[in-house]
């Protein structure tokens, strides 16, 4: 009997030890750092299937939204690649850092700033970027370091694909120019030979390496499309029939209804003024084709994440650096104060937050990405960030962290709340302001700034804009900001 009891005690001891060990392993696994896969497109507006676009096909991005939250009112802080990406990576407004120019380097303004990826590096992550995260001259800078920040990364990769080698075949409204003018090409070469195909391939290689080495990672995957030139394999052009494309139009007297500075921005690319309907349709067709090509590359990267078993512990972000006009307001570019230029696509997936397929109308600014990812991954951010964490919204799509959105183009500003957008050019006043009632005019085509019936609303929105500009210009605490030259 004593032998039986002794054996039972031994069995119980071994069982309890095994149970404790399993619990220890389980707790250790649950506390392993969350990885970040940060995917950003270039010049992508919300012409995506998941945003109910009437024609564009983006099955992979749509599928990504099914596993996380789709933000319908996310905005950049400055609709130009350089300042926008700098504000995203620093969590600070452009007026706080002084980064307003396309080709600025962020540390020329805030030399000691801790960038988003750098905060993860400081927490023991490997931070790697593939492609365009900070500004690049696109396509001229493809294959170079661009206007990158070396302190933000452990490793950097900058592929150069066949699209860069085919520039002599590209149609352009301004022969010899590609980055700032309408230009396009349908290629015979396959997608994996293009720069964005190579970006995806390198990202997949890195994910495989991270899996093998069990390395916590912050992987920035920066695609160069759909930025001009709109170059993609012809199979993506063949996905669309030009007869199905709707070309936006404006009234003949439209430019007389908005401030002169706004007109100057909309007409600053002379070669793109007074385009024929045929050229507009061809440009839109090429833009849509390039978006579908981008979508395929996003799908390749996310599928690899899944197949490697990394998605269960990886936060995924998909976004763009700013919006883009594709004929709206008779314009094909960014850098305006309109909704088309400021609004960005945004999907955030966190494996611990069960919100798959949800959507929110809550306001988001690009500076909010940094504190959000830090909170989700339990990484300590700098104390001077101007952004707000979006975690409350990720847990409840009806929650809000902002009541308004501020966007600027140099020294011109716009603010929007749930119903109105108010824009001020320079110091404002008669002829230098715009007001739109987004409930009845979501396309922002009827300027109400001179309508006396809205004088009270204009006063309220002007005061709100003053408050937001003051807030966005406050010097960040404990961070040196060098004067702009």
pLDDT at 412 over 50: yes
pLDDT of residue 485: 66
Give the residue carrying structure tokens 């500009």. 469
Instruction: Considering the domain delimited by 32-403, tell me its CATH architecture.
Output: 3-Layer(aba) Sandwich (3.40)
pLDDT at 483: 86
Helices marked H in 331-479: 339-342, 369-377, 391-395, 455-472
Q: How confident is the model at residue 298 (pLDDT cuts 50, 70, 90)?
A: very high
Task: Over range 149-161, report the average pLDDT.
Answer: 97
**Where does the pLDDT of residue 464 fall: very low under 50, low under 70, confident under 90, or very high at 90 and above?**
very high
d(CA 331, CA 328): 6
Kindly report the average pLDDT of the chain as a whole number.
94
Contact 271, 174 (CB under 8 A): yes
pLDDT digits (tens, 9 = 90+) for 417-442: 999 999 999 999 999 999 999 999 99
What pLDDT score was predicted for residue 375? 99
Please give the Cα distance from 305 to 286 (Å, whole number).
Answer: 29
**In the predicted structure, residue 20 carries a pLDDT above the cut 90:** no
The mean per-residue pLDDT over the stretch 397-409 comes to 98
Residue 16's pLDDT is what? 43
Least confident of 340-349, 436-445, 473-482: 473-482
Rounded to an integer, the average pLDDT of 120-144 is: 96
Closest CA to 92 of 74, 77, 82: 77
Given this model, what pLDDT does residue 180 score? 87
Peptide bond connecting 139 to the previous residue in cis, omega within 30 degrees of 0? yes
pLDDT at residue 19 in the model:
45
> What would you report as the CA-atom Rg of the chain, rounded to the nearest whole angstrom?
24
Share of the chain above pLDDT 70, in %: 93
pTM of the model: 0.93
Question: Is a pLDDT exceeding 60 seen at residue 4?
Answer: no
β-pairing, 69-75 with 343-349? antiparallel
Is pLDDT at 18 greater than 50 in this prediction? Answer: no
Residue 397 in this model has a pLDDT that exceeds 60 = yes
pLDDT of 22 reads 44
- pLDDT at site 162: 97
Q: Is the pLDDT of residue 5 over 70?
A: no
In tens, the pLDDT along 361-383 reads 999 999 999 999 999 999 999 99
Task: Look at residue 346 and tell me whether its pLDDT is greater than 60.
Answer: yes
Mean pLDDT to the nearest integer, 332-359: 97
pLDDT, tens digit, 9 for 90 and up, residues 264-278: 999 999 999 999 999
**3-class secondary-structure state, position 231:** strand
HEC secondary structure over 299-356? HHHHHHHHHCCCHHHEEEEEEECCCCCCCHHHCCCCCCCCHHHHEEEEEEECCCCCCC
First to last CA, the chain: 91
- pLDDT reading at 64 higher than 50: yes
Burial label for 223, CB within 10 Å (0-12, 13-18, 19+), is buried
Alpha carbon distance 266, 325 (integer Å): 10
Q: Which strands, in side-by-side order, build the sheet including 405-409?
A: 405-409, 412-416, 420-424, 433-437
Run of H or E including 412? strand 412-416
């Amino acid at each position: 009997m004593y032998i039986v009891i002794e054996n039972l005690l031994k069995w119980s001891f071994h069982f309890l030890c095994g149970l404790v060990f399993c619990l220890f392993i389980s707790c250790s696994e649950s506390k392993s750092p969350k990885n970040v896969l940060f995917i950003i497109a270039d010049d992508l507006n919300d012409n995506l299937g998941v945003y109910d676009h009437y024609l564009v096909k983006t099955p992979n991005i749509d599928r990504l939204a099914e596993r996380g939250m789709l933000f319908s009112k996310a905005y950049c802080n400055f609709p130009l690649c350089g300042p926008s990406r700098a504000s995203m990576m620093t969590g600070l407004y452009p007026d706080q850092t002084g980064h307003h120019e396309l080709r600025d380097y962020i540390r020329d303004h805030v030399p000691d700033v801790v960038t988003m990826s750098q905060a993860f590096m400081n927490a023991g992550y490997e931070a790697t970027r593939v492609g365009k995260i900070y500004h690049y001259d696109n396509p001229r800078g493809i294959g170079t370091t661009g206007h990158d920040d070396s302190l933000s990364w452990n490793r950097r990769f900058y592929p150069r694909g066949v699209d860069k080698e085919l520039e002599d075949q590209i149609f352009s409204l301004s022969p010899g120019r590609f980055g700032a003018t309408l230009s396009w090409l349908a290629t015979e070469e396959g997608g994996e030979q293009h720069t964005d195909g190579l970006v995806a391939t390198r990202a997949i290689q890195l994910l495989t390496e991270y899996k093998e080495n069990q390395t916590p990672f912050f992987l920035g995957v920066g695609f160069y499309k759909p930025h001009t030139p709109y170059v993609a394999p012809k199979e993506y052009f063949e996905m669309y029939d030009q007869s199905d494309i709707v070309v936006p139009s404006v009234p003949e007297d439209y430019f007389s209804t908005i401030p002169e500075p706004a007109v100057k921005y909309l007409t600053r690319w002379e070669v793109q003024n007074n385009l024929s309907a045929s050229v507009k349709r061809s440009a839109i067709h090429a833009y849509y084709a390039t978006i579908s090509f981008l979508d395929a590359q996003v799908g390749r990267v996310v599928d690899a994440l899944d197949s490697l078993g990394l998605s269960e512990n990886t936060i995924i972000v998909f976004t763009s650096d700013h919006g883009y006009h594709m004929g709206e307001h008779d314009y094909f570019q960014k850098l305006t104060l309109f909704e088309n230029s400021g609004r960005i696509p945004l999907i955030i997936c966190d494996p611990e937050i069960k919100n798959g397929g949800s959507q929110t109308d809550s306001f988001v600014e690009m500076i909010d990405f940094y504190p959000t990812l830090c909170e989700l991954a339990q990484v300590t951010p700098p104390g001077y960030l101007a952004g707000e964490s979006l975690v409350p919204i990720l847990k409840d799509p009806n929650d809000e962290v902002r009541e308004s959105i501020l966007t600027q183009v140099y020294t011109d500003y716009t603010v929007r709340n749930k119903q109105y957008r108010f824009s001020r050019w320079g110091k404002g006043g008669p002829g230098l302001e715009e007001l739109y009632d987004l409930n009845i005019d979501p396309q922002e085509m009827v300027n109400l700034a001179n309508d006396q019936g809205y004088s009270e609303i204009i006063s309220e929105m002007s005061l709100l804009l003053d408050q937001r500009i003051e807030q966005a210009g406050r010097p960040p605490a404990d961070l040196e900001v060098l004067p702009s030259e």
